[in-house]
């Protein structure tokens, strides 16, 4: 069989990793698919830029059509990022019968269904394993490994930057701003970290996971998102005293054909495997009706882990080419989207309240919870330095989000309550 010819859109950190793997693993690729793999053209912004990998200058172009319209190029690997312009390039490529491998989570979260439809109509593959959790084969695990099961819940750490920040805050007791500055200096966080720290990056990944895992078209707007910028070292310390670790957790859950998807700082029981996932590592817990609990763990970002996932997808495309079955792997969502109402979303909650240190304050607070039939699992009452004030820290038993929101409104109206300092979702039961 003739060599399979690749066009590469982008030559940044991940693109350089793809070139290294294709060059260094040529014998393994030959063994897997029975033919050589060659990179024919690479789209770059600047032809004369200093790069992390050596490439023949004749391979470089600044014109995307040199790749998209080249009849000899079989597969396009997209690692340039961006959304609108990139979508146009990929739609044009699919209409030119090019197979696509992409690592672009932003694009797939927003336009995945449109691109997958175009791929199917043109008999092309569109693979995007690297768009979620870097080198962890989570999408392939859902689509292939757990294809016969019914997924009920996916819960995980899918953003390495926020996990690095929360790990550092937990271990060293440092404030958020100080740790963020260090993460930026080390290259773990962007100069504008908004997408990571406000949970948007994780929300895009959970959109993709929920769509695949539940076979239901979930949109980015369906994901309830809260970031970590308001998490304090005091919240983390109180959580630790109660037996919990603070993580930015993405949750996608299905019950009775209705789903909820969220990303938010969560206190997770220290005994849960996700609590021990440190630094920039990612992990996704998947619950299936038949298989029970499984966990996917590994590096969530970086040049080589992400490039590994891309080249694994490339191998999948090439195997399909050998078998003549390209364009048949995309399955349209099976179920109509049904989202839970707040009254149907149940969780435990952590609540930290600053109150006047007076007799009867706690009774006023408990009466509000009792009115909504919500009881407590754990309680801490602590004096604080500011004279005449105390702090109450609660962990509730399971309550509906509707009831909990109503409770928060009513507690704010209690005259002796000075401030609701913080509130977080709680997962698991801590053993302390």
Strand ranges in 270-308 using DSSP code E only, listed in sequence order = 281-288, 292-299
C-alpha to C-alpha distances, 151 to 77, 254, 294, nearest whole angstrom: 30, 8, 11
Structure tokens at 148: 């016969």
Structure tokens at 386: 């500011």
Catalytic residue from among 41, 105, 205, 340: 205
How far apart are alpha carbons 78 and 100 in whole angstroms? 7
How far apart are alpha carbons 10 and 5 in whole angstroms? 16
CB 126 within 8 A of CB 94: yes
How far apart are alpha carbons 413 and 75 in whole angstroms? 61
How far apart are alpha carbons 102 and 10 in whole angstroms? 11
- Please name the residue ranges forming H helices in 287-360: 303-323
Query: Which residue bears the tokens 């080419």?
Result: 321
CB 29 within 8 A of CB 37: yes
- CA geometry: angle 283, 285, 289, nearest 5 deg: 160
How far apart are alpha carbons 406 and 12 in whole angstroms? 49
How far apart are alpha carbons 246 and 383 in whole angstroms? 23
The tally of CA atoms less than 13 A away on the side-chain side of residue 69 is: 4
**Active site (annotated) includes residue 205:** yes
State how far Cα 387 lies from the chain centre: 43
C-alpha to C-alpha distances, 427 to 156, 170, 196, 234, 302, nearest whole angstrom: 11, 18, 22, 19, 29
Helix axes 303-323, 26-33, angle to 10 degrees: 30
- Please name the residue ranges forming H helices in 35-144: 65-68, 84-95, 105-121, 138-140
**Any idea which residues carry the catalytic annotation?**
205
């Amino acid at each position: 069989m003739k060599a399979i010819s690749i066009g590469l859109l982008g030559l940044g950190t991940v693109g350089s990793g793809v070139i290294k793997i294709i060059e260094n693993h040529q014998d393994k690729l030959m063994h897997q698919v029975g033919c050589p793999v060659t990179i024919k053209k690479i789209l770059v912004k600047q032809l004369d830029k200093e790069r992390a990998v050596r490439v023949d200058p004749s391979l470089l172009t600044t014109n995307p059509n040199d790749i998209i319209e080249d009849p000899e190029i079989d597969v396009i690997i997209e690692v340039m990022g961006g959304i609108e312009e990139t979508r146009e390039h990929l739609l044009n490529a699919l209409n030119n019968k090019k197979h696509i491998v992409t690592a672009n989570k932003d694009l797939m979260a927003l336009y995945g269904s449109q691109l997958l439809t175009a791929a199917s109509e043109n008999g092309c593959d569109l693979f995007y394993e690297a768009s979620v959790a870097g080198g962890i084969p989570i999408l392939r695990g859902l689509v292939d490994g757990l294809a016969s099961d019914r997924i009920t819940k996916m819960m995980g750490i899918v953003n390495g930057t926020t996990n690095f920040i929360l790990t550092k805050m937990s271990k060293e007791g440092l404030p958020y701003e100080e740790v963020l500055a260090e993460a930026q200096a080390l290259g773990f966080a962007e100069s504008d970290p908004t997408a990571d720290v406000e949970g948007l990056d994780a929300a895009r990944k959970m959109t993709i996971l929920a769509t695949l895992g539940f076979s239901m078209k979930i949109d980015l707007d369906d994901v309830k998102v809260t970031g970590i910028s308001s998490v304090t070292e005091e919240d983390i310390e109180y959580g630790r005293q109660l037996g919990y670790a603070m993580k930015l957790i993405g949750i996608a859950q299905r019950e009775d054909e209705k789903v909820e998807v969220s990303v938010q700082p969560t206190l997770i029981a220290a005994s849960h495997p996700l609590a021990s996932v440190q630094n920039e590592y990612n992990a996704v817990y998947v619950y299936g009706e038949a298989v029970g609990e499984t966990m996917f763990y590994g590096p969530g970002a970086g040049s080589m882990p992400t490039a590994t996932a891309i080249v694994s997808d490339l191998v999948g495309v090439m195997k399909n080419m050998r078998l003549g079955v390209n364009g048949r792997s995309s399955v349209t969502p099976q179920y109509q989207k049904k989202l839970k109402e707040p009254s149907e979303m149940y969780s435990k909650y952590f609540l930290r309240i600053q109150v006047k240190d007076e007799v009867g304050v706690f009774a006023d607070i408990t009466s509000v919870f009792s009115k909504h039939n919500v009881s407590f699992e754990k309680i801490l009452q602590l004096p604080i330095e500011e004279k005449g004030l105390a702090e109450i820290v609660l962990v509730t038993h399971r309550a509906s989000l509707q009831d909990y929101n109503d409770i928060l409104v009513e507690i704010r109206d209690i005259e002796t309550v000075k401030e609701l300092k913080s509130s977080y979702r709680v997962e698991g039961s801590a053993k302390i």
